[in-house]
């Protein structure tokens, strides 16, 4: 079912500006549904649902995951209920409203939505829930990125791979698959680096301080897809990916993110969201720390398209009203 293959491009103008010969992006923005890497995880969930003959998927989201899940469910004629953080951009909410059987916006960030979804999943354990009992299949969906890199990269070279990170899921998945493949097949050596925005960087803080992850009370970042305050499930394995490959944690100043986003758009023709700004900011920092002939590969996870359709207002429900509406649907399944 998985026929995704996203291209790798060279950042020609930024490369010249930084006086380097080898800066690349893997464009996960070319995935077909949400135009983000989340499509891969969503497909992993749908594939498992088919095996278990399930027809409804439940997800809690603050950004692209909900778009990918609801869109992929629609493509394969399945129902979806998406509970959306009030911090989500209107463009994403609009897409989920079109795709999903039921989309509900509740007050709070991702951590609050994740807790809300967890309570629903406990009450309806037979439902495929992306945040809980089906999370492992979402995780495995990202393996295909490494499968592609195995074919796309020069197996005789080393690449510093930069991964924008929220809860640590993506980089943990990539590193796990990388270890599996490299044990049996020769592929390029990858050194993993984590990029987070300055206003919400609990994993990078832990790496740089050499401590355990300390959950944040509040997220102060403008980068909503990277605004997870308590990355406790995959945070430790994300740190291991960095430490075991000799990588680093890179924090990008909030005041610089918009400029980096604009640079990516105006100098490379990539209409970027501000996660791309975090990624480019990390590329700039890393380029000053490594030799000029070393390869840098950024995982460009999303796109700026959803921000071009900020038109409708959000309708935010209380958690009690949201539960009543969802219960009514779930009890029928």
168-211 tens-digit pLDDT: 999 999 999 999 999 989 999 999 999 999 999 999 999 999 99
> What are the chain's domains?
8-31+142-302 (3.40.50.1100), 38-138+311-330 (3.40.50.1100)
Q: Which residues contact 147 (CB under 8 A, 6 or more apart)?
A: 177, 181
**Locate tokens 């997870």: which residue?**
228
117-135 tens-digit pLDDT: 999 999 999 999 999 999 9
Contact 69, 43 (CB under 8 A): no
Query: What are the CA-CA distances from residue 62 to residues 144, 153, 177 (Å)?
Result: 24, 32, 26
Give residue 13's Cα distance to chain centre.
Answer: 26
Query: Whole-prediction pTM value?
Result: 0.89
Give the span between the Cα atoms of 67 and 96, in whole angstroms: 5
For the chain, how many residues are written? 333
Print pLDDT tens along the chain (333 aa).
556 799 999 999 999 999 998 999 999 999 999 999 999 999 999 999 999 999 999 999 988 999 999 999 999 999 999 999 998 888 889 899 999 999 999 999 888 999 999 999 999 999 999 999 999 999 999 999 999 999 999 999 999 999 999 999 999 999 999 999 999 899 999 999 999 999 999 999 999 999 999 999 999 999 989 999 999 999 999 999 999 999 999 999 999 999 999 999 999 999 999 999 999 999 999 999 999 999 999 999 998 886 665 555 667 888 988 888 888 888 877
Give the span between the Cα atoms of 32 and 50, in whole angstroms: 20
Phi-psi region of 108 (alpha: psi -120 to 50; beta: other; left: phi over 0): left
């Amino acid at each position: 079912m998985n026929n995704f293959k996203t291209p790798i491009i060279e950042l020609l103008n930024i490369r010249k500006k930084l006086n380097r010969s080898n800066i690349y992006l893997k464009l996960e923005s070319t995935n077909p549904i949400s135009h983000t890497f989340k499509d891969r995880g969503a497909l992993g969930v749908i594939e498992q649902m088919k095996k278990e003959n399930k027809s409804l998927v439940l997800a809690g989201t603050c950004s692209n995951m909900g778009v990918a899940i609801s869109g992929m469910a629609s493509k394969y004629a399945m129902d979806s209920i998406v509970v959306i953080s009030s911090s989500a951009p209107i463009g994403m909410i609009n897409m989920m409203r079109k795709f999903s059987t039921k989309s509900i916006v509740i007050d709070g960030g991702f951590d609050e939505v994740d807790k809300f979804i967890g309570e629903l999943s406990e009450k309806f354990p037979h439902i495929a829930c992306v945040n809980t009992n089906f999370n492992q299949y979402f995780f495995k969906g990202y393996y295909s990125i490494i499968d592609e890199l195995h074919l796309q990269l020069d197996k005789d070279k080393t690449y510093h791979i930069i991964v924008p990170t929220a809860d640590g899921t993506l980089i943990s998945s990539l590193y796990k698959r990388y270890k599996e493949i490299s044990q049996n097949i020769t592929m390029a050596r990858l050194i993993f680096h984590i990029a987070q925005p300055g206003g919400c960087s609990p994993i990078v803080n832990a790496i740089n301080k050499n401590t355990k992850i300390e959950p944040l009370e509040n997220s102060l970042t403008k980068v909503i897809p990277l605004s997870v305050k308590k990355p406790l499930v995959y945070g430790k394995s994300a740190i291991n990916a960095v430490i075991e490959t000799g990588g680093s944690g890179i924090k990008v100043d909030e005041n610089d993110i918009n400029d980096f986003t604009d640079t990516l758009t105006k100098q490379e023709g990539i209409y970027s969201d501000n996660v791309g700004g975090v990624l480019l900011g990390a590329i700039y920092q890393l380029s000053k720390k490594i030799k000029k002939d070393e390869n840098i590969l950024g995982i460009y996870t999303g796109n700026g398209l959803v921000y071009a359709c900020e038109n409708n207002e959000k309708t935010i429900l209380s958690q009690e009203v949201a539960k009543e509406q969802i219960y009514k649907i779930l009890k029928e399944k």
